[in-house]
Amino acid sequence: MTARGLRWWSWIHRWSSLICTIFALLLCLTGLPLIFHEELGPNPAIDEVAGPGGRASVDRMIAEALAGRPGEVVPYLFYDRDKPILKIPTAASMTSAPDTFFYKVFDIRTGKALAADQPNEGFLYIMLRLHADLFAGTKGMLFLGGMGLLLTLSIVSGMVLYGPFARRLRFGEIRKRHSNRLRWLDLHNLLGIITLAWFGIVTLTGVINTLAAPIELMWQSNQLLEMAAQNRGKAPDDRKAPVDLVLANVRAAVPGMTVMTLAFPGTPFSTPTHYAAFLTGDTPLTSRILKPAIIDAASGEVVAVRDMPWYATALFVSQPLHFGDYGGLPLKIIWALLDIVTIIILISGLYLWLAKSRAGGARLDLVETASAKAAR
C-alpha cells in the first residue's frame, strides 16, 4: 500500500474511532452486567418454579391480574422460555409504552400468582435502556446504530492498517524499552487484532438490533396486514373469544411449537379484530425464531400462520449472538472477558490520541509510522 493510501486509512481510523469511542465504551460497560442478566437478577419465587404439570385457566389469571388494576387492560401475554410461568402485563391502553406496564407473574400449572419483581425497574433495567436506546426510544436506537456503523468502519480500517505495522514487529511483541505511548500502542494493536472477529460480530449484531423498530414497522405494514386480510370479509365483532380457546386453537394449528407471546386485539403487533400469537420451536436455532399466527378475535379460529420474513429472522438470530446467551455460563464468561479486553482497547485508543495531542502532533502512532516506512 502506498504512503498516501495509509494516510487515508489513518484518517478514517482516527476520526471514526474518536467519534464513536465514548458511546462504544458506554455500550461495553452497560453490556457487561447484561451478559449475566439471569445470574444477577435472580427471583426466588420464579426460580423455585420447575418441572412438568398441567395448565390452569389463563382467563382466570387475566381476571386476577386485572382485579387489582381498575380501568386497565391486558395487551399481551408473555411465556417464559425455560420455566412454566406466565407474565401478564396491565396498562392504561393497548398501545401504552412497555415501560409503563405493571406485571403480574403466574405459575401456569396452578394459576397461582408469584411474588416477582417488576422487570422494568432496578439496576439491570437501567443498564438495558442505556445499552438499547439511551432512554431516547427509537431515535436513541437509531443513533446507537449509527455509532455502531462508525465502529465497524474503525474495526475495518484498523485491520487494514495492522498489516504494515505487523511487518516491523514479531506478533505479540511489546516494545518495553521505548516510551509509554509506544508500549500502549503495541498493546492496543495486539488486543485489537486478537479480538477482531468477536468485536466485529458483536458490533454488527448490535447494529442489527438497533433496527428492531423499523423491522417491526415493516412486518406490521406488510405481512401482518396480508395475514389478517384472509378474513377481511367478516364484519367487526365486539365479542372476544376466551383466551384459553384462542391458545388451544393455536397449539392445535401449529403442533410441535410453543406459544411465547400473545398480542391482544388493538396492540401494535395485532389488528383491531385479531389476536396475534408468536411461537417458537424446541431446537437451539428454532427457539430463537418466531412464527406468527393470526387468530380471529370473535371466533378464536386461526386465520393464518406464516414464517417471519428474512429481515425479522436476522434480528431474532442476532439477539442471542450479541449477548452470548445461547451457550450457558461458560460462553457468557468468555463474552465478559472479551468485553473487558474491548474496554481496554477503547481506553488505550483514547490515551494514544490524547498523548499524541499533548506531544504536539508527533508522528508516532501506528498508521503514520507505517506511512513513513512506505514512503522510503
User: Could you read off the pLDDT of 100-121 as tens digits, one per residue?
Assistant: 999 999 999 889 998 888 888 8
Is 125 part of a structural domain of the chain?
no
Which amino acid does the sequence have at 285?
L
Angle at 337 between CA 331 and CA 341, to 5 degrees: 140
> Which CA distances in Å does 111 have to 51, 57, 58, 61, 102?
15, 7, 8, 6, 18
Percent of all residues in the chain with a pLDDT value above 70, rounded to a whole number: 86
Residues 84 and 228 in one domain: yes
Residue 345's pLDDT is 93
The predicted-structure confidence for 224-239, as pLDDT tens digits, reads as follows 888 878 765 555 567 7
67 and 206 in a single domain? The answer is no
Chain position carrying cell 477503547: 346
- The residue from 289, 307, 323 where one domain ends is 323
Q: Do 198 and 222 fall into the same domain?
A: no
Per the CB < 8 A criterion, the answer to whether 223 and 279 are in contact is no
* 296 three-class SS: strand
One-letter amino acid at 68 equals G
Report if residue 307 sits inside a domain.
yes
Closest C-alpha to 308, from 282, 286, 283: 286
Do 348 and 254 share a structural domain?
no
Order of strands, edge to edge, in the sheet holding 302-305?
A: 113-114, 102-107, 85-90, 76-79, 258-263, 274-280, 291-296, 302-305
Q: DSSP assignment, residue 271?
A: B
* Span 263-290, average pLDDT: 86
Chain centre distance of CA 272: 28
Indicate whether 139 and 164 sit together in one domain. Answer: yes
Could you list the residue range(s) of the whole structural domain that residue 18 is in?
A: 3-38+130-210+327-375
Q: What pLDDT, in 10s, does the model give residues 367-376?
A: 445 444 444 4
Residue 18 resides in a domain: yes
Of the candidates 303, 332, 290, 264, the one whose C-alpha atom is nearest the C-alpha of residue 96 is: 264
Count of structural domains, the chain: 2
Specify if 274 maps to a domain.
Answer: yes
State whether 222 and 358 are in the same domain: no
Lowest mean pLDDT among 23-27, 322-326, 370-374: 370-374
Kindly indicate the confidence band of residue 313, based on its pLDDT and cuts at 50, 70 and 90.
confident
184 shares its domain with 277: no
pLDDT of residue 22: 93
Give 194's pLDDT tier (boundaries 50, 70, 90). confident
Residues 71 and 183 in one domain: no
What are 369's three cell numbers? 509510522
What is the distance between the alpha carbons of residues 195 and 189, in angstroms, rounded to a whole number? 10
**Does 138 map to a domain?**
yes
Percent of the chain's residues with pLDDT above 90: 45
Could you tell me if 168 and 181 lie in one domain?
Answer: yes
E strand spans, 143-257: none
All cell numbers assigned to 4: 498516501
What is the number of residues in the chain? 376
Per-residue pLDDT, 3: 78
Both 12 and 93 in a single domain? no
Compute the distance between CA of residue 350 and CA of residue 244 in angstroms, rounded to an integer.
57
Co-location of 319 and 331 in the same domain: no
pLDDT at residue 267 tops 90: yes
Per-chain mean pLDDT for the chain: 84
Do 223 and 302 share a structural domain?
A: yes
* 177 pLDDT more than 60: yes
Contact 31, 339 (CB under 8 A): yes
Whole-number Å distance between alpha carbons of 142 and 148: 10
- Asked whether residue 110 is assigned to any structural domain, the reply reads yes
What is the distance between the alpha carbons of residues 324 and 334, in angstroms, rounded to a whole number?
9
* Nearby residues of 100 by Cβ (< 8 Å), 6 or more positions away: 91, 92
Domain assignment present for residue 124? The answer is no
Q: Does some domain include residue 137?
A: yes
Average pLDDT for 135-162 = 91
pLDDT tens column, 70-92: 999 999 999 988 788 999 999 99
**Of 252, 263, 250, nearest in space to 302 by CA:** 250
